[in-house]
Amino acid sequence: MNDSSPWLSPLCLVVIFFATLTTEWTGYQPPAILAVFVLLVFTLLEWKYLELTTKVIAMVAIGLTLALLLLSQISLMQLGMLCGSVAFFAFFLIALGLLKEAALTSESVNLTS
């Protein structure tokens, strides 16, 4: 986790979680867009701690999105509609990673293996 402000990364995850839930429950798109911006902040804060594979996937996703926008293959409106799914999927993977890390460092889990 981020050393300079240990509360900021977890706060980002909470915002992403509630923003994506709000979008899924209501269909209202602005929280999904907020979730993607907060996801970008989280990614920047945690960049040095991410695995190489995660960094490559993030760069490819950003590059493909920019290419689609520049080539007019996707509109900003369509991109806004996709934000909820993108943020939720990314949050889900982050949560799985955190659970894995917690399990690896758990004394009770280590006692059972």
What per-residue confidence (pLDDT) applies to 2?
55
What per-residue confidence (pLDDT) applies to 86?
81
> What pLDDT digit, counting tens, does each position of 2-47 carry?
566 788 988 998 999 899 889 888 988 889 889 989 989 998 998 8
The region, left, alpha or beta by phi > 0 then psi within -120 to 50, assigned to residue 85 is: alpha
What Rg do the C-alpha atoms of the chain give, in angstroms? 16
What is this structure's pTM? 0.74
> What pLDDT digit, counting tens, does each position of 42-89 carry?
989 988 988 888 888 888 988 888 898 899 888 888 887 787 788 888
Report the percent of the chain where pLDDT is more than 90.
13
What per-residue confidence (pLDDT) applies to 80?
77
What per-residue confidence (pLDDT) applies to 11?
92
